[in-house]
Chains A and B, each alone.
Chain A
Amino acid sequence: MHVLKSLVRQPTALFGLVIVLAVIVLAVAAPWIAPFDPDNQMFDGLSLEGAPLPPGGDFLLGTDTLGRDLFSRLLFGARTSLIIGLVANGIAVGIGLLVGIVAGYLRGFLGTLLMRFTDLMMAFPALLLAIVLAALLRPSLWIVAMVIAMVNWVQIARIVYTETRGLVERDFIMAERSLGAGHGRILFLHILPHLIPTAIVWGTLGIATTVLLEATLSFLGIGVQPPQPSWGNIIFESQSYFQAAPWLVFFPGAIILLTALSFNLVGDALRDILDPTQRGRG
């Protein structure tokens, strides 16, 4: 409750929160709001020469290169992209925190082993991993989310590890330790809270990159399979049309941007509120 109150008090955070909630509501209510079936390739959705139609008229935001209503596709795409953004990023942050903290705090054999594994995964070009998984697995929304999580946790683990190492050397941890505090107490009461800002910064920023990574994966053949729309594949299908049909790039781009921005604003505010070292300091 306290968190929510603090959030609402900041205008930028409020703005972000409103947009995030609006996007969630629109995504959930997509079937009732969308004027057309998102997959319906309408014959009059293309000009006689086969060009997509600009915004206005029957189609609020215009049509795409197959004559489908862009507005309806964006609404339904929001569902796909939000699920991927939240699920994939949640998993990635979770794994990253766990591995980073354990390795940074414990060190020793287990810590070294974990970090070497992280190094191994990090040395692995993500693109290749994705392509091979594409060939081995049947592409679907959940597989895409999993692949993104597998690619993204590594960087978070590395950052968390570096920060944990820095924290462990700090005086207050040293003091706790000399007072005989157990590992659990130090980890959960002292180290984890300090890492929450990092987790939130990465968690929020990650949502935007996740949406973009999803688009790249669509291109590689393991994205969300057509015709199911996602913001990523909408923008990817049409990116080369930025001159001929700018709305196909502009609208999805602007929506991705706005949504990412909102998540960032909320995350940023949360960081200020949650960070114990900053509480009450404005």
Chain B
Amino acid sequence: MFKRWLRQTTVATMVALAPMAAMAQSVTQGGDVVVTFKDDVTTLDPAIGYDWNNWSMIKSLFSRLMDYEPGTSKLVPSLAESFTVSPDGLTYTFKLRKGVKFSNGREMVASDVKYSIERAVDPKTQGPGAGFFGAIKGHEDLTAGKATGLEGITTPDAGTVVFTLSRPDATFLHVMAINFASVVPKEAVEAAGGDFGKKPVGSGTFTLKEWTIGQRLVFEKNPNYYVKDMPHVDKFTVEVGQEPLVALLRLQKGEVDIAGDGIPPAKFLEIKNSADGAKMIVDGEQLHTGYVTLNTKVKPFDNVKVRQAMNMAINKDRITRILNGRATPANQPLPPAMPGYDKGFKGYAYDVAKAKALLAEAGFPNGFETVLYSTNTDPQPRIAQAIQQDLAAVGVKAEVRALAQANVIAAGGTEGEAPMIWSGGMAWIADFPDASNFYGPILGCAGAVPGGWNWSWYCNKDLDARAVAADSMSDPAKGAERTAAWGKVFTDIMADAPWIPVINERRVVAKSMRMGGGDNIYIDPTRVINYDAIYVTK
């Protein structure tokens, strides 16, 4: 069993490393694909959509100045033909690709870029992504309602966009590739009268053909897309409201091509051990870490020794077993696939005796009572119970509170409320593949505020300063140095142990056997499913 798994992984890695050009030759064009999701698609407006299922659809409906090579986290110009960065890292000049058309027929020009980003930042849009553009000059004025545009974006001519930043931002090119930076035509937004999310117009690989509320969305290939032979399938239909278990039964019958929600735990072993299992399961790494936050503002977690003891008390191997081996134990905040991950770092090993000793040293020889929050969808309460049992072994009596996600988030963001929170079901994939995305909101001082996402309420000014310094190294030549600096931030943070990094969960997707393309297309590091790159083999 183990051998087969190993071989599969090796193949997956090879596919990931193979140059895209070589793969493209065997790709067939055409075909009609059915994808299912449990949750309805809320909106396809790129300035608003921030869900797990609409993220990839929006990626394919619209284009951005920058994008990633399919299946990788390598940045490439997309709507931009080329770009230059000033030596001080404060001015980015993009030359636009010529002849790109929106699906309403109009040609895209530089002012569309300016309009789209201003729209994403404008408070009236109620978009979640405004903060990503914080480095652009004039950002504060627009969010405070003092200006109607961003002075930092100028359009010298129809084919050029210039961004002026108020501070260097090493992640700026990633920001230009994020969904919120998608380019939209102003006249279509205005014509939709607030319903642009249901009537999207873009210049991506696909166009929205039909949307039957609560049932299905049909996406059709954009024949005018500016890259030849992209996308590969003619059409894909997203069926919503489909229970994952039912979706899987339908997939086994051939009615469904991709079960977007993955394989429920109850079905995983059955499918994995079936004859065709290997051809149907896509199992890949994602930028995910599951952790327990230790609230540094709640006794006794204000004591670093207690936090360290907690880190030694958790049997992470057992938790991966509960997840049927679909995860690996974690020892630092960054996931292994993220640049900056320190392979040599050992973290805190599982050691009950040492944990007890540390607790005694901290003044809790008989442990203490506390509360562990968790969301209430399977398998999260089960993992919380496993953690609860491990804590009991060192004398810590934790009451599990399994609540709806919104309530857990509310408790986490209320000062002094939640001593421990198991992040499962809430800590999603990084917005873009850069270590900085794992710091600010969830470990930095900025997030340790009421309503924030830093549920450890951990604030280390020294580390914050190092983070800012690392993000100022925007010169691409210093890339490696910057990555190393970030990696050190995350390993150093573990000395204070605000988290218990528990597992790195791999993503498992089920696809029908006719679907082609490498595993990294179905578990794309920057999308959920890369609809542009999937294809049908027969």
Contacts and interface: CB of A to CB of B under 8 A. Distances in A.
B325 A135 contact: no
Interface stretch (B37-45, B190-198, B397-405, B413-421): B397-405
Nearest to B323: A50
B362 interface: no
Given A51-B324, A66-B322, A221-B376, A227 B388 contact: yes
A225 interface: yes
Contacts of A240: 245, 264-267, 378
B267 A244 contact: yes
A195 interface: no
B389 interface: yes
Interface stretch (A39-47, A147-155, A174-182): A39-47
Contacts of A221: 376, 402-404, 407
B325 A41 contact: no
A240 B389 CA distance: 24
Contacts of B279: none
Contact of A49 (B324, B381, B386, B404): B324
A256 to B, nearest CB: 20
Contacts of A220: 376, 404
Contacts of A65: 265, 322, 379, 382
A225 B402 contact: yes
A51 B271 CA distance: 13
Contact of B382 (A39, A66, A131): A66
A139 interface: yes
Contacts of B322: 46, 50, 65-66
B134 to A, nearest CB: 33
Contacts of A245: 266
A185 B269 CA distance: 67
A225 B386 CA distance: 14
B318 interface: yes
B385 interface: yes
Contacts of B1: 49
B80 interface: no
A46 B323 CA distance: 11
A226 B264 CA distance: 21
Contacts, number: 81
Contacts of B404: 131, 134-135, 220-221
A43 B270 CA distance: 21
A15 interface: no
B270 A244 contact: yes
Interface string B421-463: 0000000000000000000000000000000000000000000
Interface of B is mostly: helix
B209 interface: no
A277 interface: no
Contacts of B266: 240-245
Contacts of B245: 240
A39 B402 contact: no
A142 interface: no
B401 A139 contact: yes
Contacts of A219: 376
Given A66-B322, A225-B400, A244-B270, A135 B407 contact: yes
B269 A41 contact: no
Given A50-B323, A240-B264, A41 B389 contact: yes
A65 B386 CA distance: 11
A134 B404 CA distance: 9
B62 to A, nearest CB: 35
Nearest to B388: A227
B514 interface: no
B435 to A, nearest CB: 31
Contacts of A51: 269, 324
Contacts of A41: 318, 385-386, 389
A237 interface: yes
A66 B388 CA distance: 12
A212 to B, nearest CB: 18
B399 A225 contact: yes
A245 B385 CA distance: 20
Contacts of B264: 240
A62 B289 CA distance: 32
A253 B482 CA distance: 57
Interface in A88-135: 131, 134-135
A132 B124 CA distance: 30
Contacts of B269: 49-51, 244
Interface in A215-266: 219-221, 225-227, 237, 240-245
Of B264, B267, B378, the most chain A CB neighbours within 10 A belong to: B378
A66 B386 contact: yes
Contacts of B399: 225
Contacts of A43: 318
A226 B389 contact: no
Nearest to B374: A226
Interface of A: 39-41, 43, 46, 48-51, 65-66, 131, 134-135, 139, 219-221, 225-227, 237, 240-245
Interface of B: 1, 245, 264-267, 269-270, 318, 321-325, 376, 378-379, 381-382, 384-386, 388-389, 399-404, 407
CB-based closest 5 A-B pairs: A240-B266, A221-B376, A50-B324, A50-B321, A241-B266
